[in-house]
Structure 1
Amino acid sequence: MRSRQRMYSAVMRFFLKCLRIGQRRRFWLTKHVGQLWLYGRLCLRSLVYNSFANGDTALDALFEPIYWLVDHVTRWFGVQLKSDVAAVSICRKCISPKPARTHHCSICNRCVLKMDHHCPWLNNCVGHFNHRYFFSFMLFMTMGCIYSSVSGWDLFWEAYAAIEKMKLLDKGRLHVTANQTYSQTPPPTFSFRQRAFHKSIVYAWVLCSSVALALGALMLWHSVLITRGETSIERHINRKERKRLRLKGKVFRNPYNYGPLGNWKVFLGVETQRHWVTRVLLPSTHSPYGSGLTWDTPPCIVQQKTPLLTI
């Protein structure tokens, strides 16, 4: 009898032990699967996450076949529009006539006449009506920074030498006051106001010099583009077109290039000799030449050229 009870109790203990082990393994397996699911979801989100994606991006992706259809249909049949605007193509974003030298800005979400680029510092596009103001801003800012850097050279070196002297005195004072108490420690040689003054001078000089180099390089680049009679976007287009025609044995000619002097006259709005003073040296609010919709030969250009509606 006792042997049977012992056998039953042993069997029950073994059954309960197996049940507990099964529950532990099942809990471990569920936990492991959950961790793998969370890790996989995190990896997937890390691979496909884009902070710039929003509803507009999804709509652009959905409308991409329509844009492709509009672009190729207009190229095949030509521009057939009843409009007063002299268009050379259709903007596939705005679905509206696009004049020559006009490009669509994805940030401003509109077409810009004679678009050069979108400037994040101005939070605006540089185009036909503000290109001259943008260049004047770069020119005067570069000249002001160069003047500040050259005139403040001696002041910069004095401030820099004072800062180096502060560091040497601080090191020497640490060695002297190592075995002294707090009441025996000498006062600092330079006050906080003097330290901040010298550091501010060094910071201002470095900032002016950096801005002069960066903005000066950008100004020189735009000067080269203006001399060639093209914008930043047109430079890439003209380079591709020049390469394509070179393979066919032809020579590309920019229809908006009136020569170095002529390009600067058109850009600055100089029509007479007096305008070099009243419109260039002195502040002026005159409008640029043309409306930006059509590009006929300006009257200030002596050599007449046939306008071509390309680009």
Structure 2
Amino acid sequence: MRTGGSWRCQLSRTMRLVLRWCRPHRAARRGGRCGGRVSQLWSYTKVMLKSLYYNSLTDSDTLFDCIFEPIYWIVDNITRWFGVVFVSLVVLLTSSVVIIIYLFVIPIILSTYPVILSCWHLGCGHWLLLMVVFHYYKATTTAAGHPPKEKVHMPAVSMCKRCITPKPARTHHCSICSTCVLKMDHHCPWLNNCVGHFNHRYFYSFCLYMTLGCVYCSISSWNLFVKAYDAVERYYQTPPPEFTSMDTTGHKCIIFLWVLTSSVAVALGGLTLWHTVLITRGETSVERHINKKESRRLRESGKIFRNPYHHGRLNNWKLLFGVEKRSHWLTRVLLPSAHLPKGDGIVWDCIFTRRDPMAI
């Protein structure tokens, strides 16, 4: 009751100030000085509005966050539901490419190519298909990793304002999943999942092998694409009697195959290249933006920024793929492997320890 009374007193005091200001200016209003009075009235109105929400812990940014919170909620939920659509689209397009290859491309390869070249195409194509399917399945079904909810002793660098729980190093909150994610990279709608500590390797391997598979299909089917395009063009100009609807369907499927794989190779190749650079630097997508701001801040004070999680280019790749000996490059990188990443995602090895660990 005391808080409500003080609030009413503050509001009534503000209203009395506004009314007191209005009385001596009634005559001036008749004189036509509208511009200055409107601006002054607006300033008093802002004071009155601030008196309703402002205190030492909030400001206008907090007010706008509260106003736009429903919009954020709608965007997050739409993205979450769109994730199901995007996953279905990936499965549908990948399945269509595989079906076209089995129905139209492989018969041409077996009937026209030499035996050694045919074995090469069959072996390479099925290896890429196996790697794409395995890593996509693991990336979508493996949880990225979350801080423990139980009250346990856990090293933390900050508190999450949404979860109201301690956040370990490299942990960030995902508004779409409504939880904190260990070593969060980003929320991927094509996986309908967050990319974090436990599925980062699966995500990158899927991007890499899908790009390689699309490049392989695009290059190896180039001659078939040219022949199919010429055949379809001649068919629509003057349909020859020797062409059947089955022939034109096969030609259209090959054209669709080449256009789709070439487009995905370009788009996904750019994303894969970007993540290759991040992994080489020992960063995630979120940390890239944070490190840029930190580097700018330290540069102004005459210091040099160093990423505490950058262990060297080769070592960063070994940490991502879990390579501990030479044979792991074959068993854990070039072949499907479900091994866990190094560490629990809560405690991280830093290359140095200082009072300001970001600067030297």
Matches within 5 A, 1:1-311: 53=70, 83-169=152-238, 190-296=243-349, 305-306=352-353
- TM-score of the two chains, using structure 1 as the length reference: 0.64
Conserved in 2, the CA contact under 8 Å of 1:149 and 1:205? yes
SS of corresponding position for 1:111 = strand
Greater helix content: 2
Conserved in 2, the CA contact under 8 Å of 1:138 and 1:219? yes
Quote the offset at 1:168 in angstroms.
Answer: 2.0
Conserved in 1, the CA contact under 8 Å of 2:309 and 2:349? no
The superposition leaves residues 247-286 of structure 1 with CA deviations (integer Å, 9 ceiling, x where unpaired) of 1111111100011011111111112233223222232211
SS of corresponding position for 2:348 = coil
Quote the offset at 1:87 in angstroms.
Answer: 0.8
* Residue number in structure 2 paired with 1:44: none
Quote the offset at 1:56 in angstroms.
Answer: 5.2
Quote the offset at 1:121 in angstroms.
Answer: 0.7
Residue correspondences, number: 214
Quote the offset at 1:53 in angstroms.
Answer: 4.0
Conserved in 2, the CA contact under 8 Å of 1:88 and 1:309? no
Quick check: 269-278 or 126-135, which moved more?
Answer: 269-278
> For the residues of structure 2 that align with 1:193 and 1:277, how far apart are their CA atoms?
43
The superposition leaves residues 80-127 of structure 1 with CA deviations (integer Å, 9 ceiling, x where unpaired) of xx7411111000010111111001001111100000010001100000
Cα distance change, pair 217–255 in 1 and its aligned pair in 2 (3 A): same
Question: Once superposed, what is the RMSD of the aligned Cα atoms?
Answer: 2.5
The superposition leaves residues 146-182 of structure 1 with CA deviations (integer Å, 9 ceiling, x where unpaired) of 1111111111001100111123216xxxxxxxxxxxx
> For the residues of structure 2 that align with 1:247 and 1:305, how far apart are their CA atoms?
22
**Equivalent AA in structure 2 for residue 279 of structure 1:** R
| Higher Rg | 1
**Equivalent AA in structure 1 for residue 338 of structure 2:** T
> For the residues of structure 2 that align with 1:55 and 1:243, how far apart are their CA atoms?
29
Cα distance change, pair 56–277 in 1 and its aligned pair in 2 (3 A): closer
Cα distance change, pair 309–107 in 1 and its aligned pair in 2 (3 A): farther
> For the residues of structure 2 that align with 1:278 and 1:56, how far apart are their CA atoms?
43
> For the residues of structure 1 that align with 2:286 and 2:227, how far apart are their CA atoms?
46
Cα distance change, pair 151–161 in 1 and its aligned pair in 2 (3 A): same
Quote the offset at 1:309 in angstroms.
Answer: 7.4
